[in-house]
Amino acid sequence: MLHVFAARQIRNRATLGGNIATASPIGDSAPVLMALDASLVLAGARKTRTVPLADFFTGYRQTVLQPGEVIKEIVLPKYAPARGLKRRADFIKVSHRQELDISIVAAAFCVDTDARGVVRAARIAYGGVAERTKRALRAEAGLIGRKWSEAAAEVAVVLKTEFTPIDDVRSGAAYRRGLVVSLWEKFVTGEASHVHDLPADYAYQGPWAIDEATKALRHESAAGHVTGRALYVDDTAQKRPMLEVWPVMAPHAHAKIKRRDATAARRLPGVVAVLMAEDIPGENNTGPARHDEPLFATDEVRFHGQVVAVVVGESLRACRAAAALVQVEYEPLPAVLGVRAAIAQDSYHTDWHALARGDAAAALAAAPSRFDGELEFGGQEHFYLETQAAWAEAGEDGSITVNSSTQHPSEIQAIVSEVLHVARHKVVVQAPRMGGGFGGKETQGNAIAAYVALAAVKTGRPVRLQLDRDLDMSLTGKRHPFLAKFSVGHDADGRILALQAELVADGGWSLDLSQPIADRALFHIDNAYYIPALSCRSRAAKTHVTSHTAFRGFGGPQGIMVIEEVMDRIARRTGLAPEVVRERNLYHGTGETNRTHYHEDVGDNRIQDIWRQALDEAKFAERRAAVEAWNASHPRIKRGLAITPVKFGISFTLTHYNQAGAYVVIYSDGSVQVNHGGTEMGQGLHTKIQGVAMRELGLPAASIRMMTTATDKVPNTSATAASSGADLNGAAVAAACVTLRERLAGVAAPMLGVAVEQVEFVHGHAQERGNANNKVPFAKVCSHAYAARVSLAATGYYKTPGIHWDWSTSSGRPFHYFACGAAVAEVEVDGFTGMQRVRRVDIVHDVGDSLNPGVDRGQIEGGFVQGMGWLTSEELKWDAKGRLLTHSASTYQIPDISDAPMEFNVTLLPKAAQPNTIHGSKAVGEPPLMLAFSVREAIRDAVAAFGKSGDEVRLASPATGEAIYAAIQARAGA
């Protein structure tokens, strides 16, 4: 069991005694030790006593330990098998993920039989099914003295009623009830699976050989990330004393505020200010798209945890104590929770947006086969490692500097200027780097920055704020959960003929980016498939939870979820293999069958090539046969195989966001600073752009420094989002470099004695084109330029050509191009527990002519695993009062290293240069996340194998162990 006991780091620090003494009903060690009949030696100041572990726990987190007593020893009876005596023992843990997780149910079994196969001793212990770890005494009694071969099966019946587990945040009672029996069955049958029983073995391609220096750059902060030297927003803040901030949060999802009084709080020592709406010089608003987000709630609370006031003080301790003294009187109101409730109550932020092609109703009516369906699926917490953070310091004349962990410095600047009621030129926002943003820092940092800015102005002192994990998860928005309803028409060959769909996104309490997110879902409901007749619409619902926001894919994943669901349902209904149905429906040829439902041509048909290459590299046909053979001989452990495509539109759908600026300065020693409007969040944007500048100026990496993103260097920027950071800012930097190169060529030409057109910049020199013998060092050209009074600083600007979109007519060309890929995934599902493991993944992805293959590979692998998390282990749960239950690392499980595919192969589509983009490259940040649908579909394929073929295979999303277990029960007709 050791590899699933906490994690290596924790095992190195924690103690077995501690794990027992804490008396958690889900502690991992107790069931094992109980099954082994352990006793504890308890030592007090005066005497020592021995207690069987089975008698040690007395109730929920209660033990027989007296004050002052400690666990001194754990005694295990020595097992000395007499002749013919045989011991069977096992430990099985069910949790959301393999490592670093708490059990849902854990069981330990130890059964001794004699030479005649009669059970002599039996101990069965379960964790997670009662208020404490318990033995299954009735089941044990049912075994003793009986023949193992007969009694083992009968005991399963006894176990069915031995415990009455409860529902909690970790799982439903039904799952736990089922597990009590099926863990026993797993023990009895001994059926082993990769999921629980086999060591984690990983196969990995190793590093790629990249022979071009400008593309082989390692992430510019890689060493800083792993050594801790990279400075994040709060690292800088911590270097000197700053005031701290703690929020006062509403304990209702929806309520009227009757009274607010901070008098007592303000009197507490160490408190410098308690700020509320009345203290704001400008607007009490941080809403990015619509002014519907008060910085402080005044008369109405619209989600559980909404901030009513902030305490600013000398220490967090003082702030927290004072926050508890702020008196707020609420009158609770009924809350709208979930999309269905919002629909029932007609609660929306937006009206419908619709896209159509042909006459979908007629095509549906005429289709040989039709079905209706519905799918409700969950959102996702960003779980960036660095939580939301900002600090601010006021300067002279109403100016202020804000350091923010944001994807969108210009918007932070705009919000701060509105809240403080000063013009934007008074506000400088710097964004050094983020420890992950994933869309969660496109708008959700606005309020954090506004709190510290307001506090800095009010107190005249620098102020810092970094949310702790619980606050961050409770206060900030997530990926939108959706409810989709659809009607599908298809033929017997599995071709989709018509699709009608309605998508409703849970937007949460304010609009935020819900409109463009619901739009992008609509734009991606085709994924990579040609749908001849379509009529779809989407809309954002208004509910009383955090305001849901951008998250890698930005609605695209939600649209694709729907069509991938539809593809599988068509496959199961027609009896065709899902990969056959998917392939038949891919965009193909030219003209109408290669045009989206918004009438944009897909362009050169890469999807077909990618698809074939992925099938090939994965040896799909061969492995399909192997999976079938496996499934035929394994009743409770099944494998599944699937391939899914992705086609993702690159550009902000709000056309004017597709612009970027840069400011490149060269010093007279030839060293270069590059400023651009993009932000670095780990995605390698700076690294890619450094490579762009190296190529443009012919300089080595050491000559080029990437500068902190700041609004006083490059103004009026767009969010670094929509995967377009490198496309937009890279092109802007290249434009600035071209300007500088032209100026420098004029200086270098007389130095080289050649015409201006003959000058090229390579390897740190200006040289005569094609003649390396005639060259001068770049630095020398720069010092000459300075002496000749030639400007060495230039701005660059770029706007994406040829795109526009108009919702009033639903017409235009929204995307500059599409990024495509395909993934093949194979999973193994343990039918006893519902847990799964990804055995192998093969990805072929199109990044054009990569700016940096290593960085792109990191984006593909990381995006894929993040998508897997959304689709499998990560589950958001709110209680009936609208309080987020999963607000910590112990209740919300992102994938960890042991969830990585056991074999993970990534290939970049070769010869893929994209016309009209920066150095022929394509955006990569978001699209690979959607390749993770291959895992969801592979799981579904495995679930299907638990029953007869035919019929839809329903699978909830996220496909947690609990959901998979339920799907198997349904499939197997249990």
Token pair recorded at residue 634: 């394994």
How many angstroms separate the CA atoms of 541 and 339, rounded? 7
Residue 353 or residue 686: which is nearer to ligand MTE going by CB? 686
Residue 33 or residue 681: which is nearer to ligand MTE going by CB? 681
Q: Which stretch binds ligand HPA (CB under 6 A): 415-423, 512-520, 677-685, 813-821?
A: 512-520
CB of 929 to ligand MTE, least distance (A): 8
Residue 653 or residue 957: which is nearer to ligand HPA going by CB? 653
Angle 778-787/725-752 helices, nearest 10 degrees? 80
Active-site residue identified among 418, 926, 937, 962:
926
Residue 685 CA to its chain's centroid (Å):
19
**Element housing 539 (H / E):** strand 533-541
Interface residue with ligand MTE among 859, 893, 934, 957 (CB under 6 A) is 859
Residue 442 or residue 937: which is nearer to ligand HPA going by CB? 442
| Chosen from ligand HPA, ligand MTE, ligand MOS, none, partner binding at 785 (C-beta under 5 to 8 Å by type) | none
DSSP E strand stretches across 667-725 = 672-676, 704-706, 709-710
Query: Helix or strand or coil: residue 274?
Result: strand
548 binds ligand HPA (CB under 6 A): no
**In terms of C-beta density within 10 A (0-12 exposed, 13-18 middle, 19 or more buried), how is residue 121 classed?**
middle
Residue 165 or residue 437: which is nearer to ligand MOS going by CB? 437
- Cite the DSSP H helix spans in 556-710: 556-574, 578-585, 606-617, 620-633, 685-697
The DSSP string of 52-115 is EHHHHEEETTEESPPTT-EEEEEE-------TT-EEEEEEEEE-SSSSS---SEEEEEEEEE-T
- What does residue 551 show for φ and ψ, rounded to 5 degrees? -150, 120
552 binds ligand MTE (CB under 6 A): yes
Residue 721 or residue 943: which is nearer to ligand MTE going by CB? 721
CB of 444 to ligand MOS, least distance (A): 11
- Report helix, strand and coil shares of the chain as percent, to nearest 5: 35, 25, 40
CB of 554 to ligand MOS, least distance (A): 4
**Element housing 317 (H / E):** helix 316-325
In this structure, which amino acid lies at residue 787?
A
How many angstroms separate the CA atoms of 232 and 73, rounded? 45
**Element housing 830 (H / E):** strand 817-830
CB of 825 to ligand MTE, least distance (A): 21
Interface residue with ligand MTE among 214, 350, 683, 914 (CB under 6 A) is 683
* CB within 8 Å of 898: residues ≥ 6 apart: 97, 98, 99, 200
How many angstroms separate the CA atoms of 375 and 957, rounded? 9
DSSP E strand stretches across 177-285 = 203-204, 244-249, 255-261, 271-275
Interface residue with ligand HPA among 520, 552, 647, 686 (CB under 6 A) is 520
Q: How many CA atoms lie within 13 A of 498 on its CB side?
A: 19
What residue ranges bind ligand MOS (CB under 6 A)? 407, 439, 442, 550-552, 554, 721-722, 926
How many angstroms separate the CA atoms of 502 and 739, rounded? 49
685 binds ligand MTE (CB under 6 A): yes
Residue in 276, 337, 304 with CA at minimum distance from that of residue 474: 304
Count the neighbouring beta carbons within 10 Å of the beta carbon of residue 883: 17
CB of 349 to ligand MOS, least distance (A): 18
803 binds ligand HPA (CB under 6 A): no
682 binds ligand MTE (CB under 6 A): yes
Instruction: Provide the residue count of the chain.
Output: 974
Query: With contacts defined by CB under 6 A, how many residues of the chain interact with ligand HPA?
Result: 13
Residue 509 or residue 554: which is nearer to ligand HPA going by CB? 554
Would you say the C-alpha torsion 132, 138, 142, 145 has a positive or negative sign? positive
Which CA distances in Å does 55 have to 25, 42, 214, 542, 551? 14, 13, 67, 52, 49
722 binds ligand HPA (CB under 6 A): yes
How many angstroms separate the CA atoms of 673 and 704, rounded? 6
CB of 870 to ligand MTE, least distance (A): 12
| Chosen from ligand MOS, ligand HPA, ligand MTE, none, partner binding at 520 (C-beta under 5 to 8 Å by type) | ligand HPA
926 binds ligand MTE (CB under 6 A): yes
Residue in 807, 802, 722 with CA at minimum distance from that of residue 355: 807
Q: Return the residue nearest ligand HPA (CB atom).
A: 722
Angle 933-944/556-574 helices, nearest 10 degrees? 30
| Chosen from ligand MOS, ligand HPA, ligand MTE, none, partner binding at 462 (C-beta under 5 to 8 Å by type) | none
CB of 902 to ligand MTE, least distance (A): 23
- Partners of residue 601 on adjacent β-strands: 595
678 binds ligand HPA (CB under 6 A): no
288 binds ligand MTE (CB under 6 A): no
Residue 597 or residue 922: which is nearer to ligand MTE going by CB? 922
- Known catalytic membership, residue 926: yes
Residue 640 or residue 682: which is nearer to ligand MTE going by CB? 682
Q: Which stretch binds ligand HPA (CB under 6 A): 128-136, 648-656, 834-842, 909-917?
A: 648-656
CB of 439 to ligand MTE, least distance (A): 4
Which CA distances in Å does 907 have to 187, 571, 687, 842, 846? 41, 28, 21, 8, 9
CB of 722 to ligand MTE, least distance (A): 6
574 binds ligand MTE (CB under 6 A): no
Interface residue with ligand HPA among 54, 550, 736, 963 (CB under 6 A) is 550
| Chosen from ligand HPA, ligand MOS, ligand MTE, none, partner binding at 511 (C-beta under 5 to 8 Å by type) | none
Structural contact between residues 95 and 892, judged by C-beta atoms closer than 8 angstroms: no
The mark string for 716-745 relative to ligand MTE (x by CB under 6 A, - otherwise) is ----xxxxxxx-------------------
Phi-psi region of 712 (alpha: psi -120 to 50; beta: other; left: phi over 0): alpha
CB of 931 to ligand MOS, least distance (A): 16
Count the neighbouring beta carbons within 10 Å of the beta carbon of residue 518: 27
Residue 644 or residue 683: which is nearer to ligand MTE going by CB? 683
Query: Helix or strand or coil: residue 687?
Result: helix
| Chosen from ligand MTE, ligand HPA, ligand MOS, none, partner binding at 652 (C-beta under 5 to 8 Å by type) | ligand HPA
Residue 569 or residue 688: which is nearer to ligand MTE going by CB? 688
479 binds ligand MTE (CB under 6 A): no
645 binds ligand HPA (CB under 6 A): no
| Chosen from ligand MOS, ligand MTE, ligand HPA, none, partner binding at 32 (C-beta under 5 to 8 Å by type) | none
The mark string for 551-590 relative to ligand HPA (x by CB under 6 A, - otherwise) is ---x------------------------------------
Query: With contacts defined by CB under 6 A, how many residues of the chain interact with ligand MTE?
Result: 20
649 binds ligand MTE (CB under 6 A): no
CB of 723 to ligand HPA, least distance (A): 8
475 binds ligand HPA (CB under 6 A): no
DSSP E strand stretches across 285-383 = 300-301, 307-313, 327-332, 353-357, 369-377
Angle 961-971/933-944 helices, nearest 10 degrees? 30
How many angstroms separate the CA atoms of 913 and 899, rounded? 33
Residues making contact with ligand HPA (CB under 6 A): 442, 513, 516, 520, 550, 554, 652-654, 657, 719, 721-722
Residues making contact with ligand MTE (CB under 6 A): 436-439, 552, 681-683, 685, 720-726, 859, 862, 925-926
Active site residues: 926
